[in-house]
């Protein structure tokens, strides 16, 4: 009887007869070798990543877990052992306390003011910096310098500029205008905080836009120019659409900054006048350390965290784009 080769058959829906031959041993050996190499590369990668992951766990995720736990208790920083479990009562207070609701509203106005001013100003600055101008590196450094300056230093500087005897009121007095209550008038104080924050952060947004502009292929600009598109048409129909992803990133970054703003209210106004500059992070600080209600402050922090995540997701949904190059 002639010798017949043994063929291993396995079910497979892609074959006509519902079976296919087993892969050659060489292919199996290659797959196993690739898996071994991946495993060998994984060990040193984990060795490099482990310190960073431990720091991330200890200083970011573990505090979030502790904060979530503390938000369910009522206690004082002086007597943390006498904590009382209150469940969701702290969260109910967050949404029923008039002071907290006002601080949320003020923070929302502050965030909208930041976005409305920072995004177009930063874009125009980036377009200007992307052109041919003398001392371009020096101009970029001057625009970016406030970003790397401490927020406490910037807030202190602007406090001296905006107070009753400050530089701005001195200029107004020199031209015969009465001094303005930039930091004491309830209709002007929040605007002053927005202007100061825009001055500090517009450089960062401009640098981000500048990176996006320099990433646009020059061939696209040249093709549009050859087709007869002028500077404004190129800006409207080419540059702005291709910068959609950069714009999304700038909007999300500025939103997070506005929600985390603390120094302007702490240094410049103390939340006054009449709570019109009582930003939510400053309100959390007062609740925890002045009113001695860290449980309620933890609940407020969790609400801000969830709101920041939710609004970032909404922005990414509304501003997402299919433009690619």
* pLDDT tens readout for residues 3-48: 444 444 444 444 444 455 555 555 545 555 556 656 567 778 788 8
CA distance 165 to 182: 11
Count H helices and E strands in the chain, helices first: 15, 4
Least confident of 111-125, 181-195, 225-239: 225-239
Say which CATH class 93-319 falls into.
mainly alpha
CB atoms within 10 A of CB 165: 9
Domain layout of the chain by residue ranges? 93-319
Question: What number of residues does the chain have?
Answer: 325
* pLDDT tens readout for residues 175-186: 989 989 999 999
Which residues, 6+ apart, have CB-to-CB distance to 110 below 8 Å? 190, 193, 194, 197, 258, 261, 279
State residue 41's pLDDT score: 74
Residues 115 and 254 sit within 8 Å (Cβ to Cβ)? yes
Name the nearest CA neighbour of 109 among 194, 183, 182, 186.
194
State residue 315's pLDDT score: 85
pLDDT surpassing 70 at residue 224:
yes
State residue 283's pLDDT score: 96
pTM: 0.83
């Amino acid at each position: 009887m002639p010798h017949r080769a043994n063929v291993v058959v396995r079910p497979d829906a892609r074959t006509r007869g519902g079976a296919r031959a087993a892969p050659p041993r060489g292919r199996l050996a290659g797959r196993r070798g690739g898996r071994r190499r991946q495993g060998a590369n994984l060990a040193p990668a984990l060795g490099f990543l482990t310190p960073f992951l431990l720091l991330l766990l200890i200083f970011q995720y573990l505090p979030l877990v502790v904060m979530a736990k503390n938000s369910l208790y009522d206690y004082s920083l002086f007597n943390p052992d006498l904590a009382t479990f209150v469940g969701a009562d702290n969260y109910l207070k967050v949404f029923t306390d008039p002071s907290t609701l006002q601080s949320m509203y003020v923070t929302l106005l502050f965030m909208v003011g930041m976005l409305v001013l920072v995004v177009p100003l930063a874009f125009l600055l980036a377009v200007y910096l992307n052109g041919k101008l003398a001392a371009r590196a020096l101009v970029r450094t001057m625009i970016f310098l406030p970003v790397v300056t401490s927020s406490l230093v910037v807030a202190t500087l602007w406090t001296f500029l905006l107070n009753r005897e400050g530089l701005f009121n001195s200029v107004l007095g020199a031209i015969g205008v009465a001094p303005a209550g930039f930091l004491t008038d309830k209709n002007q104080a929040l605007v002053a905080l927005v202007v100061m924050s825009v001055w500090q952060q517009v450089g960062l947004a401009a640098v981000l836009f500048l990176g996006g502009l320099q990433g646009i292929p020059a061939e696209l600009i040249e093709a549009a120019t050859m087709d007869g598109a002028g500077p404004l048409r190129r800006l409207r129909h080419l540059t702005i659409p291709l910068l959609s992803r950069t714009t999304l990133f700038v909007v999300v970054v500025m939103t997070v900054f506005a929600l985390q703003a603390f120094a302007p209210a702490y240094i410049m106004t103390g939340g006054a006048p009449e709570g019109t500059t009582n930003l939510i992070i400053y309100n959390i600080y007062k609740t925890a350390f002045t009113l001695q209600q860290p449980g309620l402050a933890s609940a407020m922090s969790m609400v801000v965290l969830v709101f920041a995540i939710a609004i970032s997701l909404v922005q990414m949904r509304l501003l997402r784009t299919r433009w690619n190059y």
